[in-house]
Amino acid sequence: MTTTLPHVGVPAWVWFVVAVVAGSAGGLFLLRDRAVLTSRNRERRRWAALRGWQFAEADPELPKQWAGGAVAYYGDGVARDVVAGTTFTADGRRKVYVFDLEAGGRVNVVIVAVQCRRTHPVVLELWVPSTPFQREHMPELLGPVGQRYAFVSDIGAARALITPDLVDATEDIGQDIAVAWIEAGWVLAAAAPGSSPSRLERLLRGIGEIADVVDPFDIPEVPPAVADKPADQPEPSGKPTD
């Protein structure tokens, strides 16, 4: 004889409560994330206004200028809360960008970029050893540069860039910066999501120093005849003197 256990049904109101709780929890997480993003947006916007820089909510094309460093690791994605302007370095004024790199639906890093006057024929990536920087198509490993590892697209061209001054400038940006790299006429670095404007200001100064090292402004030579001429000497008139 077969004994059948009685069927115990779950009341409909229980499923309703479960659905309400799950929906509420999801809504709270969404509101929390949105509040964080809104706060970051306001902070970045205020910072841009204080510096007299431009601000944009999003720019899907901006990250496509680069293919190395953090952009290669996370994907070009979309630039969010974009700040664009210029800043002074020791060698003069340079164009800068600061933006959140959103890829896969989340902000992974803050990209800071300083423009050079010339384009170097090499991509030079400098990663801290503690970062899981491996990806499917890594540039060639050159070796240690200061406390970082250098990966390059061309070893010969990269060696010409790596000088003691570059090593010193790279050390100054801080070990919390996972990667700094040189690509397509820019020096870039990746900071942690939610980095404060004060940290981003320091990072801008740091990679500005790197830009000054690899891209010094040319100082025009003064012709010897002009340089040796006394300041109060009159110009020749071309007329004979008595």
pLDDT, tens digit, for every residue of 37-65?
577 789 999 999 999 999 999 999 999 99
Torsion of CA 79, 82, 85, 91, to 10 degrees: -50
> How many CB atoms are located within 10 Å of the residue 242 CB?
2
Residue of 89, 46, 196, 70 whose CA lies nearest to 131: 70
Decide if 119 is inside a domain.
yes
Q: Tell me the HSE value of 46 on the side-chain side, using a 13 A CA sphere.
A: 9
Euclidean distance between CA atoms 134 and 142, whole angstroms = 14
Ranges of beta strands (E only) in the chain are 54-59, 78-89, 92-103, 106-115, 124-127, 140-145, 148-152, 179-183, 186-191
Structural domain contains residue 53: yes
pTM summary value: 0.75
Is residue 194 domain-resident? yes
Mean pLDDT of all residues in 5-18: 52
- What mean pLDDT is reported for the chain? 82
Q: Is residue 241 part of a domain?
A: no
Share above pLDDT 90 across residues of the chain, in percent, rounded to a whole number = 66
Sequence-distant (≥ 6) Cβ neighbours of residue 87 within 8 angstroms: 93, 94, 96, 114, 204, 208
Q: Output the furthest CA–CA distance in the chain (Å, rounded).
A: 144
In a domain, residue 117? The reply is yes
pLDDT reading at 86 higher than 50: yes
**240 lies in a domain?**
no
Question: Is 54 part of a structural domain of the chain?
Answer: yes
- Where in the sequence is the domain holding 43, given as residue range(s)? 24-216
Q: Is residue 50 part of a domain?
A: yes
**What is the per-residue pLDDT for 9?**
60
Tallying the residues shown for the chain, one arrives at 242
Q: How many domains does the chain have?
A: 1
Higher pLDDT, 133 or 195: 195
Question: Mean per-residue pLDDT for 166-194?
Answer: 96
Contacts of 19 (CB under 8 A, 6+ apart): none
Distance from the Cα of residue 53 to its chain's centroid: 16
Cβ proximity of 210 and 169 under 8 Å? yes
Q: Is the pLDDT reported for residue 36 higher than 50?
A: no
Q: How far is CA 73 from CA 76, 131, 137, 138, in A?
A: 9, 11, 9, 9
Kindly give, in sequence order, each residue whose CB lies less than 8 Å from that of residue 115, ignoring residues fewer than 6 positions away: 94, 95, 96, 185, 186, 211
